[in-house]
Amino acid sequence: MNEKLFHNAPENAAVPAENVGIAAEINGSTVFGRVLLPALDDPNKRTPIVLFLHGFPGTEQNRDLAQLLRTTGLACAHFSYRGVWGSKGYYSFTHLIEDAMAMAEYLRGRAEELRIDPERLYLVGHSMGGFTSVNSIAEGLRVKGAFIMAPGDLGNMYFNEPEHFTIIEKGQKAGYFTLESEDALQNDVVANAEKWYFPNAVKRMPYLPRFYFVGGTRDTTTPPEKNILPILECLRARGADVQYLELNEPHAFCGSRLRLAEEAAKFIWETENEK
């Protein structure tokens, strides 16, 4: 572990580290989560806020990364989308984008209480959370930076890799989420695939934050050549500040957790220190 980057909170901190529960109302449904607040040496200090967006349907939520980022002085929030892991309402891909944008506004609305700076918001998205990060920015969510791991381009999958949608069927059979109807997810993709396709999403982005993408060379779920390299090209063509790291890992990056946390923390703090 990088001891200079990750460290325990001082015992005599003016404001100790704490966890704050989330129960936010989004379009009439309650979604649940938690904000991990760092220790502060000054009670008047305001920290950046990092919003974690989990994958499909949420078995990997990257809370270990959130805990590590907290030790560097970042406030970190994670939550479950509507219709999954205890949150109320219906799960859909459209709702993922809506939920991310609504949660960002919810956190900004509690900025004073949480001692966060509402203008210093970052996204950390994995898999379907990467899809959500890209498309929420395309819909106008303003963030300073997005750290995106193994994103899934639903548009590309719909047009070119329909076999990947067997994961939807498996999730439905397992009862991982609450759906409005049996064919709701499929209908959602059919109606929005062209808009969500990453190159088209980039064209719709009203502004360009900094981006850092991470891909896995052994990722068979969202291989980088189909889900990351095309969006890198599109973002760079628009002049975006984009970094890319490829690790010898599968989709969940099981063996590189500290590396991911280090890269995310450095990316965020380098962005903070930019003039």
Q: Is residue 142 part of a domain?
A: yes
> 112: part of which helix (H) or strand (E)?
helix 111-114
Q: Is residue 265 part of a domain?
A: yes
Q: Is 137 left (phi over 0), alpha (psi -120 to 50) or beta?
A: alpha
pLDDT value of position 1: 44
- The backbone torsions φ and ψ at residue 115, rounded to the nearest 5 degrees and listed phi first, read 60, 45
* Number of structural domains the chain divides into: 1
Write out the residue range of the structural domain in which residue 240 sits: 18-272
Query: Residue 220: which CATH number?
Result: 3.40.50.1820
pLDDT value of position 2: 57
- CA–CA separation, 18 vs 35, rounded Å? 8
pTM score: 0.96
Which residue did the predictor score with more confidence, 224 or 163?
Answer: 224
- pLDDT tens digits, 169-194: 777 777 788 999 888 888 999 999 99
Q: Is residue 10 part of a domain?
A: no
- CA–CA separation, 214 vs 30, rounded Å? 32
Q: For 19-35, what is the mean pLDDT?
A: 97
State the amino acid at position 50 in one-letter form.
Answer: V
Q: Is residue 126 part of a domain?
A: yes
* Angle of CA points 105, 84, 27, to nearest 5°: 40
Any alpha helices (H) in 117-256, and if so which ranges?
Answer: 128-138, 154-160, 166-174, 184-196, 198-204, 224-227, 229-237
Q: Is residue 249 part of a domain?
A: yes
- CA–CA separation, 131 vs 54, rounded Å? 10
Q: For 84-103, what is the mean pLDDT?
A: 96
Does residue 58 carry a pLDDT above 90?
no
Q: What percent of the chain has pLDDT over 70?
A: 98
- pLDDT tens digits, 146-170: 999 999 999 999 999 877 777 777 7
Q: Tokens at residue 98, please?
A: 């809506």
Q: Which of 8, 26, 84, 77 is nearest to 47 (CA)?
A: 77
Strands (E), the chain: 18-26, 29-37, 47-53, 75-79, 116-126, 145-149, 210-216, 242-247
CB atoms within 10 A of CB 67: 15
